[in-house]
Amino acid sequence: MWFSLLLIGMLGLSLLLNLSFGFRGLRKAFATSHPRHLDDNLIEELVEDNDSTHKIAVIRIEGMIGSEAVEPGGLTFVEVVRDQLDRAAADTAVKAVILKVDSPGGEVLASDEIYQLLRDFQKKPGGKPVVASMGNLAASGGYYVSAPCRWIVANELTLTGSIGVIMHGLNYRSLMDKVGIRPQVFKSGRFKDMLSGMKTPEEESAEEKAMVQEMVMETYGKFRNVVEEGRGWAVSMNGSADDEKDRGRKLVRNWEDYADGRILSGKTAYEKGFVDELGNFGTAVSRAEDLAGIEDSNLIEYRLPFHFGGLLRLLGQSEARGVKVDLGFDFPRLTAGRLYFLAPSFFN
């Protein structure tokens, strides 16, 4: 009984909160050609009050960067970041943004879309600077989204780098043969079942592998361009500073030798020009204030409102849509056939 009363009370609270935030969002949705926006519903939360008239917005990039919905309204990781940047751009009191990164990377497309959002945000007329603050891990896609930032701060012990692309798959044909399962495939062309985990090694042609490798290397070339252009733009923006330490770091001449997928410590990344400054989150705040030309600021974050539907999903039970075989260990949860910017530590 008490549990039922608690659920009813939470439902009532959720309805009140969502009525106050939801009607504005609905009006905006009907008035715009792109209804998938949440920025009117985002709740501004004061994280650190320094009694200032200026604000710095903190946007978190945490965990896997992907295309799945991350909030009850169905918005994706990319769309939530977009709406936070839109909110920061519209608020004249917000003078800079700190991108707080703690991520092993993720999907290629999602990472690239966030990269473009950050690049365009800073290049708008009167664009506000974005400072990347790297936490424990900012590797592969985590570095990809940091590359367009005006300034990058990392701890000496941050794991970063891992500049590269991976496509992951599993061949389970031998397992199928052991349990007596044989696939039946009808296809319109000889490459229609590329990357299928049901094929025998003899059925995987060298031509097929070469095509996949070419696609991986093409995407890797885009990653290298993003690093080179992002770091070059940052140097051009900071290069006029009087103090040498305020000009940021240039990529070393042989930087591509370190863009082979290897993990770098924050210290090595700084020495090779992938990072501008060594320090912590406080260092990033001070740098953001310097770049914005302000002496102090309040730190804010944009939070998603509570939705009762999210609680129901936690209490509910999902329906299994496939056959599961317990082999005694876990495989990395990657979607076969997709390209990823991921650190190798993700696979351990």
CA dist., res. 79 & res. 320, Å (int): 28
Q: How far is the first Cα of the chain from the last one, in angstroms, to the nearest whole number?
A: 45
CA dist., res. 319 & res. 335, Å (int): 19
Of the candidates 192, 205, 209, 345, the residue annotated as catalytic is 192
Q: Is 140 noted as a catalytic residue in this protein?
A: yes
Instruction: Yes or no: say if 140 and 110 are a contact pair by the CB < 8 Å rule.
Output: no
Q: How long, in residues, is the chain?
A: 348
Of the candidates 111, 133, 140, 297, the residue annotated as catalytic is 140
Q: Is 95 noted as a catalytic residue in this protein?
A: no
The set of catalytic residues is 140, 192
